[in-house]
Amino acid sequence: MAQSSPKKESKPNWRHYDFTTTGPVDDYLYSMLPKRDEVLAEMEGYASEHNVPIVGPAVARVLQQLALMINARTVFELGSAIGYSTIWWAQAVGEKGRVIYTDGDPKNTERARRYFDRAGVANRITLHTGDALEFLSEQKQLYDIIFNDVDKEDYPRVLRLVSPRLRKGGLFITDNVLWSGRVAEKNPKEPRTRAILEFNRLLYSSNDFYTTILPIRDGLAVALKK
Ligand SMILES: C[S@@+](CC[C@H](N)C(=O)[O-])C[C@H]1O[C@@H](n2cnc3c(N)ncnc32)[C@H](O)[C@@H]1O
């Protein structure tokens, strides 16, 4: 099993220690990341202090890279919290792009709005407070990317909504699909673990998508719409 990394207390909470990569290798991966700008760095600090479950910079960089690779201009995000991943999307889509932020908690929306202003990307982001699945189901346009980071029990339901709202060649991306390794348990009882297992099975077997799971941090599913 993995070697242990230095004391967790001194490290941010959005890391996933000794899980898919060993502590020292994981430290190396994070040490390679370029310094973030002031607002993103502040958000990382806030998330760590207040236990806000953000994707963190290693996954955020993958998200931004994927958006740049397909020249994405529109992103619908389900579960945005304080808007950390939203800012990485907004930077990727460019000045004419649009990112839909969704979160059920109005306090998150207000905090996110302030960060978006300070990061200079507010004019690229539409904020929606309320149920992300309901809002997605109302969408008439096709998106380049749909990013799923809501409550895990809802993952199978999200999958059913996504395909008709994603363009061919677009990406459906989902965080936490390895669920800190719990997906490998025998006969898991925990509802969130079971929902993620069902989601992964349905996603891999879907004729609409070509899927891989990147074992970075807590597992990122990347599904290409055929
Ligand atoms: C893991 S956090 C999102 C983190 C964000 N994607 C990031 O990396 O910066 C999940 C967020 O989704 C929100 N959420 C969960 N289920 C939701 C739903 N059905 N509709 C809207 N928001 C939801 C929660 O309030 C929480 O803030």
223 strand-pairing partners: 172, 211
Instruction: Say if residues 79 and 149 touch (Cβ distance below 8 Å).
Output: yes
Q: For residue range 57-73, what is the model confidence (pLDDT) as tens digits?
A: 999 999 999 999 999 99
Cβ of 79 less than 6 Å from ligand 1: yes
Instruction: Express each pLDDT in 121-168 by its tens digit.
Output: 999 999 999 999 999 999 999 999 999 999 999 999 999 999 999 999
- The overall average pLDDT reported for the chain is 95
Atom of ligand 1 nearest to the CA of 54: 8
Answer yes or no: is the C-beta of 154 below 6 A from any ligand 1 atom: yes
Q: Which residue's alpha carbon is nearest to atom 27 within ligand 1?
A: 81
105 Cβ inside 6 Å of ligand 1: yes
d(CA 112, ligand 1 centre) in Å: 12
Determine the residue of 147, 150, 175 to mutate for testing ligand 1's pocket, defined as the one with the most ligand atoms within 8 A of the Cβ atom: 150
Taking CB atoms within 8 Å and a gap of at least 24, the contacts of 195-203 are: 195/152, 195/153, 195/154, 195/155, 195/156, 196/152, 196/155, 198/155, 198/156, 199/155, 199/156, 199/158, 199/159, 199/174, 202/156, 202/159, 203/159, 203/172, 203/174
User: DSSP readout, 196-212?
Assistant: HHHHHHHHHH-TTEEEE
Q: What is the pTM of this model?
A: 0.95
Backbone angles phi, psi at 182, to 5 degrees: -65, -20
Q: Is the CB of 91 under 6 A from ligand 1?
A: no
> Tokens in use for 157?
């339901």
State how far Cα 2 lies from the chain centre.
Answer: 25
- What's the CA-to-centroid distance between 80 and ligand 1, angstroms? 5
76-129, pLDDT tens digit by residue? 999 999 999 999 999 999 999 999 999 999 999 999 999 999 999 999 999 999
